[in-house]
Amino acid sequence: MPSGTPTLADDVRTLLNLPLSTALDVADDGTVLFGTNTDGTSQLWESFPDGSQQQLTDFASAATGRYLPGSRKLIVSSDLDGNEHHQLYLLDPDLEQLPVTGLAPLIDDPAHIYQLVALDAHSLVYSTNRRNDVDFDLIRRDADTGAETVLWSGGGLFRQASASPDGRFLVANELSLQPASTVLRLLDVVAGQWAEITAADRPGGYGDSYWTADSSGFFASHDAETDFASLGFFRVADRSWHRIVEEPGVNVSLALDGTGRRALISRLADGKTTLSVCDVGTQTGLPVLGPESPVLFAEEGYARGMLSADGGRLALTFSAPTFPDEVFSADLPDAVGVAPIRPVQRTAAPGREIAARLPRARTVRIPARDGEQIPVFVTDGDASAVLSIHGGPESASLYQWLPRNASMVLAGHTVVVPNVRGSSGYGRRWISMDDVELRLESVKDLVDIHAWLVAEGIDGSRVALYGGSYGGYMVLAGMTFHPEYWAAGVDIVGMSSLVTFMENTSAYRRAYREREYGSLAGHRQVLEDASPLPRIKNLAKPLMVIHGANDPRVPLSEAEQVVAAVRANGSECELLVYPDEGHGLSRRKNQLDAYPRAIEFLRRTLG
């Protein structure tokens, strides 16, 4: 090879070095708050309307944040080395020497978790497990005085909350004990009373809630009554739900501006999104969505965004399998619903041309053994293949940029990104098809994908499994329950035993993991029967295991016990442990160490 010619390892490092940028908020003047990992961990930056940029934070660990409405002050959230004990900070860019390397936390309590769930111009609402380490309470804190009010101390784990514009009500979104479900609680601030406005014993997942301008009710997408998520409206006066938008095979959601009069509508189907903007009116006591202006992009992909408080600006993140995550924005006209919206790109990673040269992924439905259809994204390569399996399991692979998958494509493999049964985004029926006793049905989907690959011309002896978190469990399960199909596996922060995982995961997570996998008290044998570790003698092919030492979700012990067992069998097993990481690798230096080694491992084992 001529001197200076890039090697595969060089190109993989180039891909992994591409910074990813994510829109977090947008001010009324068009300033965009975004996160980017340009310097190795994701930190906060601002992009101003004139195109200039400014770094706000340079914390030791990743940071995220949101503006206080109507202000340049922002609430910053960060943990320590992936331990997920997030602390909250107030940053005023006009008073600090930027970028800040540290701030005094609003509450100095690193032993517990503080998660921002709602924010307005005068106060923030956060959830914290400081009372007993397990249950999360809701606390409102005055942004100026620091005075705290306990809103809820009845236990649970909260996703989001939203206050009505008139200050009378607060709706909170809490995980329920039904699989892939949440429950909504409504607080009457004046009366000081909470009401459960959705049934905790009924399956149904509710998205973020947004109040209309007149405080008469709020929008929330949900699948409690439809297979795919429809857009509903809850009217406070008579405690009634009304379906506003339902589209077969499409998950519809909405985000409002701070006035409650303008909406950003998102439609998700097959891992791809389309966005549009419309105005919100009222008719016969219910909200009415006006004509929509589509948000246009040059290609299909996945986008998520937000509106400024006054509804005049749009900021969003766009990503596709050959387009690394970048921030876009648009100035919105006074009247939407007439012309398309063409956002302007606000960030651009240097060297991203290598991503554009990769082959495009195609969407395929693979027939399963029982007549079901498994949705997958396939990027064609040589006669070897890697199945890249998402975590969750109540999650999904989207039609977006994933540098690890791109690296495997660059290495020449055919890369298959499946949404096996149990994945979200394909209807409540599909997400429920791996619950508790059905756990191994999702593992059998991998075998069906293998059969399809062989029929497509792939060498069946050159197929590997690759996955993180629940995807790591799927790697180990595939290689122990169906070992004859797989040539190698890469397990990243995966569970090797569902029993020991449940016993050792963080206490505040256990109940919500049991709703999906089964409980230690009631389903111990089910958990044992679905665990790879008792069948580890079946795992005779090369295995690589990658884990963070501070993982609060899947403890390091899950990796250590499977590595010890595989090595005791005399099989090849490499373990990479990173002391400054938690559930996955967030630091560029660790990614650049682990992932190129994983690519070389796959090239060697698959030929």
Q: How far, in whole angstroms, is CA 446 from its chain's centroid?
A: 22
pLDDT surpasses 80 at 188 = yes
The 3-state secondary structure of 342-365 reads CCEECCCCCCCHHHHCCCCCEEEE
Determine the length of the chain. Answer: 607
pLDDT digits (tens, 9 = 90+) for 313-366: 999 999 999 999 999 999 999 989 889 999 999 999 988 899 999 999 999 999
Asked which of 255, 290, 324 is the last residue of a domain, the reply is: 255
Which CATH number belongs to the domain containing residue 572 in this structure? 3.40.50.1820
Average pLDDT value for residue range 52-56: 97
Residue 44, classed as helix, strand or coil, is strand
Same domain, 434 and 488: yes
Instruction: Name the phi and psi angles at 184, rounded to 5.
Output: -100, 135
pLDDT digits (tens, 9 = 90+) for 240-251: 999 999 999 999
Question: Which position has the token pair 């409206």?
Answer: 233
Same domain, 85 and 140: yes
Angle at 344 between CA 343 and CA 350, to 5 degrees: 135
Same domain, 366 and 237: no
- Per-residue pLDDT at 72: 86
Measured between alpha carbons, how far is 169 from 165 in angstroms, rounded to an integer? 9
Closest residue by Cα to residue 598 from 341, 413, 372: 413
Instruction: Name the phi and psi angles at 506, rounded to 5.
Output: -55, 140
pLDDT surpasses 50 at 1 = no
- Per-residue pLDDT at 4: 56
Instruction: Flag whether 499 is in a domain.
Output: yes
Angle at 19 between CA 14 and CA 25, to 5 degrees: 165
Asked which of 108, 124, 156 is the last residue of a domain, the reply is: 156
Measured between alpha carbons, how far is 259 from 207 in angstroms, rounded to an integer? 19
- Do β-strands 21-26 and 32-36 pair in parallel, antiparallel, or remain unpaired? antiparallel
Which band of pLDDT confidence, cut at 50, 70 and 90, is reported for residue 177? confident
Asked which of 255, 284, 316 is the last residue of a domain, the reply is: 255
Q: Contact at 8 Å (CB) between 63 and 567?
A: no
Same domain, 188 and 135: no
- Per-residue pLDDT at 71: 85
Report the C-alpha dihedral over residues 24, 30, 36, 38, rounded to 10 degrees. Answer: -170
* Beta strands in 393-508, from DSSP E residues, in sequence order: 414-418, 463-468, 488-492
Amino acid at 377: F
Average pLDDT value for residue range 367-374: 97
Same domain, 371 and 278: no
Instruction: Flag whether 413 is in a domain.
Output: yes
pLDDT surpasses 60 at 3 = no
Instruction: Flag whether 556 is in a domain.
Output: yes
Residue 21, classed as helix, strand or coil, is strand
Tokens for 425, please give them: 């985004």
- Per-residue pLDDT at 40: 86
Mean pLDDT computed over every residue of the chain: 94
Q: Contact at 8 Å (CB) between 414 and 381?
A: yes
Measured between alpha carbons, how far is 295 from 303 in angstroms, rounded to an integer? 10
Domain count for the chain, please give it: 4
Q: How far, in whole angstroms, is CA 486 from its chain's centroid?
A: 28
Same domain, 404 and 440: yes
Same domain, 170 and 122: no
Peptide bond preceding 375 in cis form (omega within 30 of 0): no
Amino acid at 101: T
pLDDT digits (tens, 9 = 90+) for 512-548: 888 889 899 999 999 999 999 999 999 999 999 999 9
Closest residue by Cα to residue 516 from 426, 439, 453: 439
Same domain, 295 and 395: no
pLDDT digits (tens, 9 = 90+) for 543-591: 999 999 999 999 999 999 999 999 999 999 999 999 999 999 999 999 9
For residue 65, what are the domain limits?
A: 21-156
Same domain, 211 and 230: yes
Which CATH number belongs to the domain containing residue 79 in this structure? 2.120.10.30
Question: Which position has the token pair 């998660």?
Answer: 115
- Per-residue pLDDT at 514: 87
Same domain, 199 and 348: no
Q: What is the DSSP letter of 447?
A: H
- Per-residue pLDDT at 558: 97
Instruction: Flag whether 11 is in a domain.
Output: no
- Per-residue pLDDT at 351: 86
- Per-residue pLDDT at 12: 87
Report the C-alpha dihedral over residues 537, 543, 549, 553, rounded to 10 degrees. Answer: -70
Instruction: Name the phi and psi angles at 369, rounded to 5.
Output: -60, -25
Report the share of the chain in percent with pLDDT over 90.
84
Instruction: Flag whether 9 is in a domain.
Output: no
Same domain, 420 and 522: yes
Average pLDDT value for residue range 176-198: 92
Same domain, 147 and 233: no
Instruction: Flag whether 13 is in a domain.
Output: no
For 175-219, the DSSP string reads: E-SSTT-EEEEEEETTTTEEEE-S-TTS---B---EE-TTSSEEE
Q: Contact at 8 Å (CB) between 498 and 558?
A: no
pLDDT surpasses 70 at 2 = no
Instruction: Flag whether 8 is in a domain.
Output: no
- Per-residue pLDDT at 6: 64
Measured between alpha carbons, how far is 83 from 80 in angstroms, rounded to an integer? 6
CB atoms near residue 16 (< 10 Å): 19
- Per-residue pLDDT at 52: 96
Instruction: Flag whether 15 is in a domain.
Output: no
pLDDT surpasses 90 at 127 = yes
Question: Which position has the token pair 């199909």?
Answer: 485
pLDDT surpasses 90 at 511 = no
